[in-house]
């Protein structure tokens, strides 16, 4: 990750650590404030320095007259809803029933 200091457009650029290929940019939204310069960019250390899976950054908004301290976290992937899971299971069971030969019971 590379933070860009800019009064026009503060962004964090992401690069592949192995190949160095550019992966994309993360814009820093300062709301109604004027953009400032990106001051710091760091992951937490797991202790008093914050969670290790959170990216913390500081930005000097309003031409560095004010400071913005913020954090970026990865959103958890939601598990499938119960209805979707039930629908999938029913589809598999119905499909299996059609593929299996019908069993006929006879009494003697």
In sequence order, the β-bridge partners of residue 12 are: 3, 26
Per-residue pLDDT tens over the stretch 14-31: 898 899 999 998 877 666
On average, the pLDDT of the chain sits at 76
In sequence order, the β-bridge partners of residue 39 are: none
Q: What pLDDT does 108 receive?
A: 56
Both structure tokens of 57: 């950054």
Q: What pLDDT does 99 receive?
A: 52
Residues 40 and 50: their CA atoms lie apart, in Å, by 14
Q: What pLDDT does 96 receive?
A: 59
Strand 54-60 and strand 22-27: pairing? unpaired
pLDDT over 80 at 53, yes or no: yes
Residues 27 and 79: their CA atoms lie apart, in Å, by 28
pLDDT over 80 at 95, yes or no: no
Please compute the mean of the pLDDT values over residues 65-88 and round it to a whole number.
Answer: 75
Please compute the mean of the pLDDT values over residues 89-105 and round it to a whole number.
Answer: 61
Per-residue pLDDT tens over the stretch 55-65: 898 888 777 88
**% of the chain exceeding 70 in pLDDT:** 65
């Amino acid at each position: 990750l590379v933070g860009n200091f800019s009064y026009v457009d503060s962004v964090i650029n992401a690069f592949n650590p192995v190949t160095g290929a550019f992966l994309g940019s993360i814009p820093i939204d300062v709301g109604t404030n004027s953009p400032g310069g990106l001051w710091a960019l760091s992951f937490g250390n797991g202790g008093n320095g914050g969670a290790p899976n959170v990216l913390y950054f500081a930005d000097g908004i309003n031409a560095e007259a004010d400071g913005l301290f913020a954090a970026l976290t990865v959103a958890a992937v939601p598990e499938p809803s119960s209805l979707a899971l039930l629908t999938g299971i029913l589809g598999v069971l119905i499909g299996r029933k059609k593929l299996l030969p019908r069993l006929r019971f006879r009494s003697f």
